[in-house]
Each structure stands twice: as structure tokens, then as C-alpha cells.
């Protein structure tokens, strides 16, 4: 876990520098506060800020927001938000949880740093921020990766480097978006993890895959347990068609026709329907069957 934080933090520092400076709890007499990094902290009207359109997280736990709001009531917003200018007001780049909690705490203004970012930097910052601080569910993460790849033409390899993940991790996460809708819902709700999804991927039959997903959720199976169950499910032999036993009468007729024609005859049927097979093993045998059928034609008229 420590390695993940270090890799992601290094990428953020290179792009955005240090915005983690602490600020006073109350607004100072001056309209702006200059901090050592060279950024200017502004106190921005909270109603002039709108959420980030590139934010991959769509749900925020109310209990966690209430706890953060209580802390803000006591200590204020310690770490400033990161904003960029919008057509009207500002758009959040970093700090949506703090912004939401500040609204709950009744703050009218919040400390913020305003930066000019490209759309790509904005998108990348939004996802990296969430990966650093609070885990996205698998589908939110997959949607964010897909959005970056589609919008900016990035490869899975380049996304992996940007977010400090392996390329197989990116590929496996993206693969969840094509799973059955019920399984996607399980992943979105956190009932299944990416590890579970990888285990389910070993089961090729969609019906069996969904059955296994439901069992994992209902029984609370671990990833290892899901992998073992998936392996057993995939190895189950396919159901064989029931063998039809021929009556003595049918077998007798087969033998009579084979003896009379010199061609192996098989009769397969069920009730009043079926087929008669004339079998051959070489070209001469085929020619003999053709001659036999031609001779039988005029006689049948």
C-alpha cells in the first residue's frame, strides 16, 4: 500500500505541485493569502462552485460526510480546494468531499486555489485523487479509465503509468464493463470485488456465470473461494444426449437391408420420424450406393 501512495503522489506533485498548505480557520483581513508554493488562496462563495464533470465518483457516503462536516464546524477547511474557472463561477478539480461537507457544516465561503488546467489534466487529477484517498467501486473506476482512454486516445499502458497500476489491472477493470448487468450492479454496490469479477471471467457460460455471482454474494464467498468454485463449475462435463435404445425389430430390419444390398444400413428414429443412413467407407462404396438407388428408382414406379 505504501508503494501505491508513493507512485501516485509523485505523479501529482509533478503535475500540480503542493496544494496541501494549511490555512487559517477564519478568513483574514486580506482578500488573498500568499503561501510559499506561490499559489494564492482565495475564499470563494460556496454557491459559486459546481462539481467536477469528470469526477468518477458518483456516490458519497452520508455518514462519512456528516463526520467530516462536524470536523469542519470545529476546525474549518484545513486543506484548500483546487478549482478551475468555469463559464460561470468555478468547477471543482479536487476536494468534492470537503466541498459537500462544508455545505453541510453551513459554511458560506471555502478556501481554494484556482489553477488553469487542460481538460486532460482535470480528468486525470479527478481519478488520481480518488485512487489516493478513498477507493472507488470497481465500476466507477472502470468507467473513469474508459473515459480517459476514449476521450484522449490513451493506451492502457499509459493509463496504468499515470495512476500507478499495472496494465493487467487496467485491462481486468475495463473488462467488468462488458459483464452482465446484474453482475455490474453487484460490482457497483460493492457486493463483488474486482477479484471476484476475475474469478467469474473463467466461467464462459453466461447462465452459470450469473448463478455463480449470486452464490458469491449470497454466501459472502472470498475471492479464493470464488476462484475454486469457478474452476469446478467450468470443469463440469456437458450433459450428454440420452441414448436411444433400438428395438429388436429395427435392428432386424437393419441387418436384412445390409445383407440384401451389401451396404451398411442404419435406421435412427423417434416415434414416426427418423432417418435411414447408408454408410460407405471408400469411393467404390459410394458408387455402389448410387447404382443401387438408381436401379431402385424405376422399380418403385
> How much of the chain exceeds pLDDT 70, in percent?
74
In the chain, how many H helices and how many E strands?
13, 8
164 pLDDT more than 50 = yes
Q: In this predicted model, what pLDDT tens digit does every residue of 217-226 receive, in sequence order?
A: 999 999 999 9
In Å, what is the CA distance from 2 to each residue of 19, 170, 172, 261?
Answer: 21, 20, 22, 83
Residue labelled with grid coordinates 501512495: 5
Q: Identify the structural domains of the chain with CATH numbers, from first to last.
A: 2-122 (3.90.1530.30), 180-235 (no CATH), 246-281 (no CATH)
Place of cell 499502458: 157
Residue 256: phi, psi to the nearest 5?
-65, -45
In this prediction the pTM is 0.50
Of 96, 129, 140, 141, the active-site residue reads 96
Residue with the bigger pLDDT between 132 and 32: it is 132
Are 280 and 288 contacting, i.e. CB atoms less than 8 angstroms apart? yes
Dihedral pair phi/psi, residue 274, rounded to 5°:
170, -160
| pLDDT given at position 176 | 96
pLDDT at position 30 is 33
More confident residue, 128 or 164: 164
Q: Which residue has the cell 470485488?
A: 193
- The yes-or-no verdict on residue 98 having pLDDT over 80 is yes
Q: Which pLDDT value is given to residue 192?
A: 95
What is the arithmetic mean of pLDDT over 242-251? 71
Phi, psi angle pair for 296, to nearest 5°: -75, -20
Once rounded to an integer, what is the mean pLDDT over residues 115-141? 71
Percent of the chain past pLDDT 90, that is, above it, reads 29
How many CB atoms sit inside 10 A of residue 1's CB?
Answer: 5
Q: Is the pLDDT of residue 123 over 80?
A: no
Q: What is the arithmetic mean of pLDDT over 53-72?
A: 77
Residue 96 is among the residues annotated as catalytic for this protein:
yes
Name the DSSP class of 27.
-
In this prediction, residue 237 carries a pLDDT of 55
What is d(CA 271, CA 95) in angstroms, rounded to the nearest whole number? 74
| Average pLDDT of the chain to the nearest whole number | 77
Amino acid at each position: 500500500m505504501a508503494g501505491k501512495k508513493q507512485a501516485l503522489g509523485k505523479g501529482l506533485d509533478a503535475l500540480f505541485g503542493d496544494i496541501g498548505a494549511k490555512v487559517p480557520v477564519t478568513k483574514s483581513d486580506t482578500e488573498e493569502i500568499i503561501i510559499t508554493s506561490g499559489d494564492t488562496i482565495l475564499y470563494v462563495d460556496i454557491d459559486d462552485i459546481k462539481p467536477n464533470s469528470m469526477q468518477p465518483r458518483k456516490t458519497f457516503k452520508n455518514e462519512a460526510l456528516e463526520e467530516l462536516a462536524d470536523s469542519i464546524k470545529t476546525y474549518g477547511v484545513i486543506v484548500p480546494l483546487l478549482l478551475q474557472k468555469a463559464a460561470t463561477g468555478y468547477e471543482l478539480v479536487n476536494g468534492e468531499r470537503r466541498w459537500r461537507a462544508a455545505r453541510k457544516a453551513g459554511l458560506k465561503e471555502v478556501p481554494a486555489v484556482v489553477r488553469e488546467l487542460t481538460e486532460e489534466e482535470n480528468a486525470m487529477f479527478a481519478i488520481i485523487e480518488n485512487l489516493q484517498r478513498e477507493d472507488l467501486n470497481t465500476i466507477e473506476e472502470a468507467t473513469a479509465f474508459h473515459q480517459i482512454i476514449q476521450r484522449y486516445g490513451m493506451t492502457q499502458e499509459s493509463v496504468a503509468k499515470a495512476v500507478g497500476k499495472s496494465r493487467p489491472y487496467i485491462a481486468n477493470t475495463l473488462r467488468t464493463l462488458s459483464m452482465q448487468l446484474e453482475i455490474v450492479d453487484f460490482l457497483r454496490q460493492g457486493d463483488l470485488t474486482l477479484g471476484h469479477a476475475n474469478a467469474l471471467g473463467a466461467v464462459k457460460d453466461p447462465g452459470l456465470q450469473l448463478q455463480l455471482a449470486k452464490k458469491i454474494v449470497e454466501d459472502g464467498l472470498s475471492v479464493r473461494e470464488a476462484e475454486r468454485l469457478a474452476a469446478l463449475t467450468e470443469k463440469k462435463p456437458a450433459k450428454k444426449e440420452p441414448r436411444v435404445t433400438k428395438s429388436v425389430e429395427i435392428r432386424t430390419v437393419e441387418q436384412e437391408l445390409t445383407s440384401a444390398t451389401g451396404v451398411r444400413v442404419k435406421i435412427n428414429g423417434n416415434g414416426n420420424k427418423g432417418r435411414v443412413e447408408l454408410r460407405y467407407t471408400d469411393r467404390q462404396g459410394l458408387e455402389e450406393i448410387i447404382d443401387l438407388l438408381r436401379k431402385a428408382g424405376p422399380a418403385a414406379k
